[in-house]
Chain A
């Protein structure tokens, strides 16, 4: 794609003034309505909205398995007679819903809007993904099978292996113990990961994100209204992007060493925000650890480290909570699970808490710039949201 020549960019035009997130997990006792209400009302409270019926002008929803479309959110929150839209964009759904909201506010269509990401996969009766046998080509159509395809060639080329992947899972499990709303709160060891049941080589059970139910919400507004809400430290959108690249299974030039959509989206978002040295200018990241290898490649694809150097950085702890660039400070998809539409918004929730110094035991010090990353499809699509302080 050619570089945009006329692009004012989104930097500092839109602020997040409230965030909310329900507890993620196998929420057998909750329907989508319960989770949406919990997340949205927490965001209302966070923003100090006393009259959401008047203050929320539009709703942007993200869900991959909605049973009732936009009504799922509108009926839950009784937000009627205003724009309510639903987006679906693979695992980047939540961040993409947020992007639509940001664009609508930046364009001046609305002053204040609500973004809700949610999904309820645990009503399907299976613990993993569903396999659709309505094709003979392209099977096994499992996420683990798609994402694991990058491992063999990367391992052979750069020398990383299952042990490095295991360390990512161990890190995220540790961080998850410090996040009140995570599903899994259990420390694990590399040995636990290596000896667990194999799902799709080289991924064992612990290399894979679990499926869970969840919802998360954010309230966004125009910059000049940002300080009229409850808090005086609003978080600003510095850049937001989504890029869809060719399917790795059909792309004639794919090298199985990096994910193209992450590289494309990062280039765009860094340009919007004027970032030239992401490793220094970004202080923490929530990345899409659907599988441990996805997180490993993302370190490199986001430009945090040199291509091929993930092994040494994993060994030295660069991305741990007390490292130079903490990644998945709340435990990531690994411990929250991955209710697809909710995940991107949940990451924004965590980054807002971190930037505002509200992340308690997992707080990263002096963080003023944070990025969140989703990677979805086979994988084909990457969404990035770069947030920062004034």
Chain B
């Protein structure tokens, strides 16, 4: 029987950084501690789409049969985020989608469920995506430790690079960190209680349970990949389970922060990036109990190359101008106009245009080859009627035809960079640009495309695609490939 496991991975760390000093009114110091925060145009769904797209580079999307989305911060209380992510990725309609929600440990459940599903039917390929953008009370103690990020794994029986050998879970009922129906912010009990009886008790119970169950020892593992509410508390688990400090995967506090449901997955990505054949990883998820996994790296790791590494994302941080910018991006500022007021995109328009707006599909004329965006009925090139086939633009590259900087549009971070882009297949797309600064812009600048939130009018996220400057080294890699 073929092995089932993780056959590809991807991650996403937003480029927006909040220097921790800014939270309490200080000045950002070069190289000082910071955290990654979702930009004003990002949320758990957009981050999940970007991480998943990274994971799917080189993978035939028609072969994907499931998408499991793990998050505590889906933008919807009722409405599935997994189906939205699948649509943005232009995955097949005949696909199982599930949201794993409600606990920081949701990604463990999603990953295990995917492995079980593929084990039951090895023709399946399931994408597991974890993303979180948790809102701490502004200027609270926990705010400094929180960060936003996403990670994605493709679970299949096709040349897995890592397999789950065994697992051990414990469930616990405790109010340490929670958010009820009516809370806007994460609530937490006293820190020392949380660490002692929530975090440490459960992490050790799951970790020790796994070691006992598998008959192994800490020394069997190349790395310990551990969730942690803060940098210090992880040390207690390392010690308690018998690991050396050197074995512990760096948790990136001061750069990314505790990214909730995506935290252990992101650290697992980091561990896999530097793993060798036959190494074992001791991975522990936390939340309302804990779950430990024993993961073994296979020989396929040698052939796997991530599209973007964590280091790539870490190098591309850009500090916010101020703490106010952060508050504004979360609609926490006092402003004259509520930027969410109004009806937003009518549901019927969204329904008719979701292939365009969400899946980013253009149309190629089967008569003359002209590519149109958005879809239309009559061809610009040869006037043929209804002779089109869909072409996905999201995983193609493009270049800027022309651009402008709009100071009039109500953007939380003016000016809004707007670029008319030509996609490599000839489609023309008028897009806002993200993760860019004015000085980067020139005609013919190479770009790629990312799924982003355009606005929250109607008190719901309204998504579309944006262009993002393609970093040159990456462009060269593309050319070489």
What's the dominant secondary structure at chain A's contact region? loop
Say whether A246 contacts B380, CB under 8 Å: yes
Q: CB of A152 within 8 A of chain B?
A: yes
Knowing A144-B408, A198-B407 are in contact, say whether A149-B420 is a contact too (CB < 8 A): yes
Say whether A201 contacts B405, CB under 8 Å: yes
The CA of A144 and the CA of B418, in the complex, are separated in Å by: 12
Partner of B356, one of A137, A249, A252: A137
Partner of B404, one of A152, A249, A251: A152
Question: Which residues of the partner chain B approach A254 to less than 8 Å between Cβ atoms?
Answer: 401, 428
Interface string of B307-326 (1 = CB under 8 A from A): 00000000000000000000
Interface string of B427-449 (1 = CB under 8 A from A): 11010100000100111000000
Interface string of B333-376 (1 = CB under 8 A from A): 00000000011111001000100110000000000001111101
Say whether B374 contacts A136, CB under 8 Å: no
Q: CB of B178 within 8 A of chain A?
A: no
Question: Which residues of the partner chain B approach A52 to less than 8 Å between Cβ atoms?
Answer: none
Question: Which residues of the partner chain A approach B464 to less than 8 Å between Cβ atoms?
Answer: 136-137
- How many residues belonging to A are interface residues under a CB distance threshold of 8 Å? 35
Partner of B344, one of A133, A138, A149: A133
Interface string of A133-144 (1 = CB under 8 A from B): 111111110101
Residue of A nearest to B452 (CB): A136
The CA of A67 and the CA of B345, in the complex, are separated in Å by: 25
Question: Which residues of the partner chain B approach A250 to less than 8 Å between Cβ atoms?
Answer: 372-374, 376, 380, 428, 430
Q: CB of A150 within 8 A of chain B?
A: yes
- How distant is A346 from chain B, measured CB to nearest CB, in Å? 25
Question: Which residues of the partner chain B approach A137 to less than 8 Å between Cβ atoms?
Answer: 353, 356-357, 374, 454, 464
Question: Which residues of the partner chain B approach A152 to less than 8 Å between Cβ atoms?
Answer: 402-404, 441-443
- Between-chain CB contacts (< 8 Å), 10 pairs: A134-B349, A137-B356, A139-B409, A142-B408, A148-B406, A153-B401, A153-B443, A198-B407, A250-B372, A250-B430
| A interface with B by C-beta (< 8 Å) | 128, 131, 133-140, 142, 144-145, 148-153, 156, 197-202, 246, 248-254, 256
Partner of A136, one of B426, B438, B463: B463
Residue of A nearest to B340 (CB): A133
Q: CB of B26 within 8 A of chain A?
A: no
Say whether B346 contacts A140, CB under 8 Å: no
Say whether B373 contacts A149, CB under 8 Å: no
Say whether A133 contacts B455, CB under 8 Å: yes
The CA of A214 and the CA of B152, in the complex, are separated in Å by: 58
The CA of A250 and the CA of B349, in the complex, are separated in Å by: 19
Q: CB of B415 within 8 A of chain A?
A: yes
Most chain B C-beta atoms within 10 Å of own C-beta, residue among A134, A135, A200 = A135
The CA of A197 and the CA of B406, in the complex, are separated in Å by: 12
Q: CB of B194 within 8 A of chain A?
A: no
Knowing A136-B345, A250-B428, A252-B381 are in contact, say whether A128-B401 is a contact too (CB < 8 A): no
Say whether A198 contacts B353, CB under 8 Å: no
Interface string of B390-414 (1 = CB under 8 A from A): 0000000000011111111111000
Q: CB of B462 within 8 A of chain A?
A: yes
- How distant is A276 from chain B, measured CB to nearest CB, in Å? 31
- How distant is B385 from chain A, measured CB to nearest CB, in Å? 17
- How distant is A162 from chain B, measured CB to nearest CB, in Å? 12
Knowing A151-B402, A153-B402, A251-B380 are in contact, say whether A140-B443 is a contact too (CB < 8 A): no
Residue of B nearest to A248 (CB): B420
- How distant is A147 from chain B, measured CB to nearest CB, in Å? 9
Question: Which residues of the partner chain A approach B342 to less than 8 Å between Cβ atoms?
Answer: 133-134
Q: CB of B252 within 8 A of chain A?
A: no
Say whether B380 contacts A149, CB under 8 Å: no
Question: Which residues of the partner chain B approach A140 to less than 8 Å between Cβ atoms?
Answer: 406, 408-409, 411, 416, 418, 432
Q: Told that A136-B454, A139-B409, A140-B411 touch, could you supply 10 new A-B pairs with CB distance under 8 A?
A: A133-B342, A134-B342, A140-B409, A142-B406, A142-B409, A200-B405, A201-B404, A202-B404, A252-B370, A252-B427
Partner of A251, one of B345, B428, B443, B454: B428
- How distant is B384 from chain A, measured CB to nearest CB, in Å? 14
Knowing A136-B454, A254-B428 are in contact, say whether A145-B418 is a contact too (CB < 8 A): yes
The CA of A248 and the CA of B420, in the complex, are separated in Å by: 9
The CA of A256 and the CA of B454, in the complex, are separated in Å by: 25
- How distant is B456 from chain A, measured CB to nearest CB, in Å? 9
Knowing A139-B409, A151-B402 are in contact, say whether A256-B420 is a contact too (CB < 8 A): yes
